[in-house]
Amino acid sequence: MKFWKLTFPAALGLALLLMLTGAAFMLYGERASSAQKIDEVRMQADILSAIVPAALAFDDTEAAMDYLNALRANPEIRGAALYDENDVFFAGFRLGTWQYPDSPPADGYVQEQDRVIVTAPVVQDGTRMGTVIVRSAAEPLATRMMRYTSIILLFSMGVLLLGVVWLATRALTSANATLAARADDLTRANAELKSQIEQREQAEEALRQSQKMETLGQLTGGIAHDFNNLLTIVLGNLERVIRTLTEKGETQLAETAENAQRGARRAASLTQSLLAFARRQPLDPRSVDINVFVNEMSSLMKRTMGETIAIETVIGAGLWKVCVDPNQLESAILNLAVNARDAMPEGGKLTIETANAYVDRQYITDHAGLEIEPGQYVLLCISDTGTGMDEETIEKAFEPFFTTKGVGHGTGLGLSQLYGFVKQSGGHVKIYSERGNGTTFKLYFPRHIPAEDEEPVQERRKEVPRGNGELVLVVEDEDDVRAHTVALVEELGYRAVDAPDGKSALGQLDRHPEIALLFTDVGLPDGMNGRQLSDEACSRRPDLKVLYTTGYARNAIIHDGRLDQGLHLVTKPFTYEEAGFAMEEAMRTKTQARKILIVEDEGLILADLVMQMEDFGIPTLEAVNGKKAEEIARRERSALRAVVVDLGLPDMRGDALTEKLLAMDPSLKIVIASGYAPGEVRTKFAGDSRVTFVEKPYNAKALLDALNIKPGRSA
């Protein structure tokens, strides 16, 4: 009985104990659940903040959304947002009515009823790049009821409670396993992303270096252009003074003038180096066997290097030929040899190696900064055992006027001239060096397959040719240069009239039908350059000879470092002798009629149009698709006067081909022919005087009218 009396208090005590235990469990459960949810959401935020720096760095919202959308698979996450370093919204997703904050809250977490919002920083290399916000879902009502019910049933259903705890533990374990697997996936994705970032950084560095060199090239090229105009006047007048003094027997004064002339020529040499770096020098490319070239230079190299430096040549068998300017190649090799000699004051070894090389895309990818297209190349490798260069020196090596030598021991233009020459020749140069371990320069030149009819170089006779009173039209916008050129032309036995621009020159041409030679600067003012002036002048006078001059090579007559075929050029500053030979060569060259390229895929239309053009005395070229037209335009660039383009070609639209052809030669005239030219095509070329339209059906007369060519005259 006493036992049963004790039962109720015991039961009551047990009940109270169970109630207190239940309350404790309820409090503990609420806190544990809240902490767990906070940890889970914080984990998601930390993972997200670790993988989005690249997307923020490259402003790549698409990549950012890919990472954010990965969180959608987690039912506990109802929204996430990404902000940049300026707290401006960048990307996000949301389920329900949650509104993205205007700016992210402070780092950490906040609880809104039964939801958790975690804010975490996005940090890379110690720099904060942005902020991520992750928002959890509300706990389902059924879950909450289950937890409260389990507490009530704790008094009588302990076993069931244990079962519920076991099921909850099992579910939690499964969820943790899922999160761990997802974390592994994100880790792998992050590693792949880092690899892509490294590759992109390498590409960006190569682009930055290329843009820097291009900017320096434009700057130095412009300076060289102005100096060449000045030096044309200085050298020309010094030549005239020296000839006059020599004829009068005033030897001492003549020697003084010759000293000034030598100084001016050194200045001209420096400007040529600047133009070489700027890739604006006119090259005279020839088919060259570098093996033969290196062997022929061996004695010169030995004298240059001295007795303390051994020279070894490793000649590649079956070496392909290249198309380069031999004088520039010799200068490049000598520059590298002299630099190597100066880097080996105690003596050493210079190695010159040649080899054929096929460069594929993988090789270009593996060698960051290799700015060439895949293909066949000839490799010229020059190595020394000297002091070497550090990374900073390598980065600046090709910049004009950069030198590590003392004052008076170098201009700092040798390597910049080498760089410009190789790039202008379609190749690439790469430096490999370490401080104390020597230096290697690798020069890549595109393979050249010589044509069977390639003409040998003719030797120039010694005496300067003179004119027989032929009338020359001198066109030059610089007054002093024009006056000097007129005087020089007359001194060479010609008569001269002059003009400062294209419009005035055409007026002179109309007033003086006896003009035999147009001697024009390439860069003229008022919207008509020398090439455009030549085209118009030759359309009026098909027998007119043309000689160009420039202090700064332009795309109007020089492409890929090479003077367009059939053109004549004397570069500034030019001498009495150079002008005499150039004028004589231009005068004796037969004028070739320039052609019209017709691009039409309908064979009958093409054949009929060609026949009509021939009746008018207009020579033509033919192409049935855009690709063939590009090949012909590239090959016959100097011979082309205009292009007729059908809008509906089989491989590309006529307007797309027109854009490519104009990029290739900005002075080209193009007629787009179509039965119906869409409005967007006409709008694209509205205001472009180089492009006109004709509608089918049309004939040769309509095309010539569109091109402003009168029938019966040669192109």
Higher pLDDT, 141 or 692: 692
pLDDT of residue 26: 66
Higher pLDDT, 651 or 708: 651
CB atoms within 10 A of CB 127: 9
CA 479 vs CA 475, 493, 498, 500: distances in Å: 10, 22, 10, 8
Q: What is the mean pLDDT of residues 150-161?
A: 53
Of 206-210, 398-402, 473-477, minimum mean pLDDT range: 206-210
Rounded to 5 degrees, φ, ψ at 120 are -135, 145
How high is the mean pLDDT of the chain? 78
Percent of the chain with pLDDT over 90: 11
pLDDT of residue 210: 59
- Are the CB atoms for 615 and 574 separated by under 8 Å? no
CB atoms within 10 A of CB 642: 24
pLDDT band at 7 (very low <50, low <70, confident <90, very high): very low
pLDDT band at 556 (very low <50, low <70, confident <90, very high): low
pLDDT over 90 at 47, yes or no: no
pLDDT band at 381 (very low <50, low <70, confident <90, very high): very high
* Structure confidence by residue, pLDDT tens digits, 623-638: 999 899 988 888 777 6
Higher pLDDT, 577 or 283: 577
∠ at Cα 208 (203, 209), nearest 5°? 100
Q: Which residues of 295-334 are buried (b: 16+ CB within 10 A; e: fewer)?
A: eebeeebeebbeeebeeeeeebeebbbbbbbeebbebbbb
Higher pLDDT, 146 or 177: 177
Residues in a beta bridge with 560: none
d(CA 450, CA 515): 38
Residues in a beta bridge with 547: 519
Q: Are strands 545-550 and 558-559 parallel, antiparallel or unpaired?
A: unpaired
pLDDT band at 425 (very low <50, low <70, confident <90, very high): confident
Distance between alpha carbon 442 and the CA centroid of its chain, in Å? 20
Q: Does pTM top 0.75 for this prediction? A: no
- Residue 122's contacts (CB-CB under 8 Å, 6 or more residues apart) are 49, 52, 53, 56, 82, 128, 129, 130, 131, 132
pLDDT over 90 at 278, yes or no: no
pLDDT over 90 at 603, yes or no: no
pLDDT over 80 at 155, yes or no: no
Residues in a beta bridge with 571: 550
Question: DSSP H helical segments within 512-575, as ranges?
Answer: 530-540
Please choose, from the candidates 550, 551, 553, the residue with its C-alpha nearest in 3D space to the C-alpha of residue 562.
553
- Are the CB atoms for 422 and 445 separated by under 8 Å? yes
pLDDT of residue 463: 81
Contacts 24+ apart (CB under 8 A), 601-607: 601/625, 601/646, 601/648, 601/649, 601/650, 602/646
Residues in a beta bridge with 358: 376
Copy the structure tokens of residue 153: 């049933």
Higher pLDDT, 104 or 539: 104
pLDDT over 90 at 512, yes or no: yes
pLDDT over 60 at 165, yes or no: no
pLDDT of residue 212: 60
**Please, what's the largest Cα pairwise distance for the chain?**
155
d(CA 538, CA 595): 13
Of 56-70, 344-358, 403-417, 589-603, minimum mean pLDDT range: 403-417
Higher pLDDT, 327 or 577: 577
Residue 167, CB-side half-sphere exposure with 13 Å CA sphere:
10
d(CA 337, CA 303): 11
Please choose, from the candidates 465, 457, 471, 490, the residue with its C-alpha nearest in 3D space to the C-alpha of residue 577.
465
Distance between alpha carbon 415 and the CA centroid of its chain, in Å? 20
Percent of the chain with pLDDT over 70: 75
pLDDT over 60 at 549, yes or no: yes
Question: DSSP H helical segments within 512-602, as ranges?
Answer: 530-540, 576-588
Higher pLDDT, 83 or 557: 83
Distance between alpha carbon 537 and the CA centroid of its chain, in Å? 36
d(CA 327, CA 325): 6
Q: Quick check: helix, strand or coil at residue 153? A: helix
d(CA 563, CA 505): 23
Q: Between the ranges 131-135, 201-205, 231-235, 695-699, where is the mean pLDDT highest?
A: 131-135
d(CA 664, CA 670): 13
* Structure confidence by residue, pLDDT tens digits, 386-402: 888 888 888 888 776 66
Q: What is the mean pLDDT of residues 483-509?
A: 92
Higher pLDDT, 366 or 338: 338
d(CA 77, CA 134): 7
Higher pLDDT, 168 or 327: 327
Of 120-124, 151-155, 401-405, minimum mean pLDDT range: 151-155
pLDDT of residue 31: 75
- Are the CB atoms for 37 and 74 separated by under 8 Å? no
pLDDT of residue 248: 80
pLDDT over 70 at 555, yes or no: no
Q: Quick check: helix, strand or coil at residue 313? A: strand
pLDDT of residue 713: 44
Which helix (H) or strand (E) covers residue 278, if one does?
none
Q: What is the mean pLDDT of residues 83-93?
A: 89
pLDDT of residue 593: 65
